[in-house]
Amino acid sequence: MVMSEDIYKDIAQAYAAAAGRAPGLKSRFAAAGFDPAAVRSLSDLSRLPVMKKEKLLKLQRANPPFGGFLAANLRDVGRIYVSPGPIFEPSLLGGGGHGLDLLFRSANVGAGDIILNTWMYHLVPAGLLFDEAAQAAGATVIPGGVGNTELQAQIIVETGVTSICASTAFFLTLADKVIETYGRDAWKVKTAFLGGEMGDWMAKRRRIEADYGVSTWAAYATADLGLVGYEDGGDGYVVHPDRVVQICDPVSGEQVAHGEPGEVVVTARDATWPMIRFGTGDSAFALESNADGTVSRISALQGRVGAAVKVREIFVYPRVIEEVVIGTPGAKAAQAVVTRENDRDMIRLSLVLEDGADASAAETAAAETFKLHARIRADEVSIVSELPENAELIINQKDG
C-alpha cells in the first residue's frame, strides 16, 4: 500500500479547523508550538509530541466529558462510549462500524451470512461497532452479547449461524456447548472473528481452526480510533487507509527503526474526534512500511507499553485502584495483582485499612467500587496489614 500524500493535506485542513472548535486540542498545539495547517509530511506531523491515553484521561477529569477535544456539535454525536478509566469517547456518524466492515469484507462474510455477535453492547464500543460493520458488509446480525451459553448455543443451531464474533475463550465455550448438546453435525459455523490476545495466540487460533473447521479473523481497533488495522490473510494487520500509523519509542515519542518494537501511535484523517499522534499504549512492530516511514502493515500486538493491564478483555488502569481507595471507608492503600490461572485472568485486591475500620464493610465497598470503575469483578478482596511504600497500584504477573 502506498501512503497518499493527500492524507497530510487532509490532516492539515481537518486539524487546523478542529483547533478552532476544540479548546483542548488548541491548547495541546499551542503548548507544542505546533501549527497543524503547516503539515505537509510525516516529519511535519512528528513535531507534535505523542499524547498518551493517560493524559486524555486526566484532561477529561479536569474538563468533563471530553477534555475540550470534541471538534463537532453534540448533536452530531450518535453515542458516547465509556471505556475503563473512565474515558469518554464520542461516536460520530461513521460508516461501516468506523472501518470494521473492511474486516468482514476481507473474510468474504456478508450477504447470506448470519453472525452471532457476543461482544458487549453497553458502555464499550465493541458490540455496536461489530454489529454496524457486519450489517454494512451485508450480513444479518444476532446481538447476543455476553453470557447465556445454553441459549446462545441453541440460537447457533436453530438460526443457522455461520459466523461468530467473540473472545477466544467464549468462542470455545460456545462451540463445545453446541457439540456437547446437539452433536458435531449441528456445528455449521464457518468463520470466527476473535478478540486479540497476546503471546501464542496464533498457535491457539490454528488449533481452533483445525478442531472446529472455521477460519479465524481479527482486527486491531480501539475505542478512540475505531479500526486501526485488519487481517487480510497475510501476516499481522493491514493499516486502515485513513490512518497514519507510526511505531515510536514509548518514552521519547521518536519513531523507531523498521522492525523494532515500540508504541503504536496513530493519527486519524478525520478530526471531528481529533486523534492526532495518539499513543495507544499498545506495543507492536512494522512488518511493512511506506516510503515515508509510516507503517502499512503492523505486527500482532506484543503487549501494553503503559501502566494498564488487560484483564478478561478489559484494560484496568491504576486509576481504578485509586478509586477503590477513595470509595472504600477506612481504606489507606490498595493494590491489585493480576495472574493467569487455568487459562483465566484473575485479579485480586489487597486493602490496607485505618485502625478500627470495619473490615467486612471495606471488603464489600472495595469490590463494588472496583466493579463500578473497571466493569469486571475482582476475584478476591483481602485485608493486609501493610503494603510496601510507593507500591505499584496494579501488578501484572500473568506472564510470570
CATH of domain 100-217: 3.40.50.12780
DSSP H or E segment with residue 332: strand 331-341
Query: In terms of C-beta density within 10 A (0-12 exposed, 13-18 middle, 19 or more buried), how is residue 330 classed?
Result: middle
Cα torsion 349, 350, 355, 358 to 10°: value is 30
CATH of domain 308-397: 3.30.300.30
pLDDT tens digit at each of 400 positions of the chain:
445 668 999 999 999 999 999 999 999 999 999 999 999 999 999 999 999 988 999 999 999 999 999 999 989 999 999 988 889 999 887 666 788 999 999 999 999 999 999 999 999 899 999 999 999 999 999 999 988 999 999 999 999 999 999 999 899 999 999 999 999 999 999 999 998 665 557 778 999 999 999 999 999 998 889 899 999 999 999 999 999 999 998 878 999 999 888 899 999 999 999 999 999 988 888 999 999 999 999 998 877 776 678 888 777 877 788 889 989 999 999 999 999 998 899 999 999 999 999 999 999 999 999 998 888 999 999 999 999 988 889 999 987 5
Residue for grid cell 503494603: 387
The total of other beta-carbon atoms located within 10 Å of residue 250's CB is 19
Q: How far apart are CA 359 and CA 355, in angstroms?
A: 10
pLDDT at 2: 46
Residue 295: strand pairing partners: 289
Contact 243, 233 (CB under 8 A): no
SS3 123: coil
CA angle in degrees (0–180, nearest 5) for 164-169-171? 20
pLDDT at 4: 61
Contact 360, 69 (CB under 8 A): no
pLDDT at 198: 56
Q: Provide φ and ψ at 45, rounded to 5°.
A: -60, -40
Written as nine digits, the cell of 308 is 494498564
SS3 91: strand
Parts of the chain belonging to CATH 3.40.50.12780: 7-93+221-304, 100-217
CATH superfamily of 7-93+221-304: ANL, N-terminal domain (3.40.50.12780)
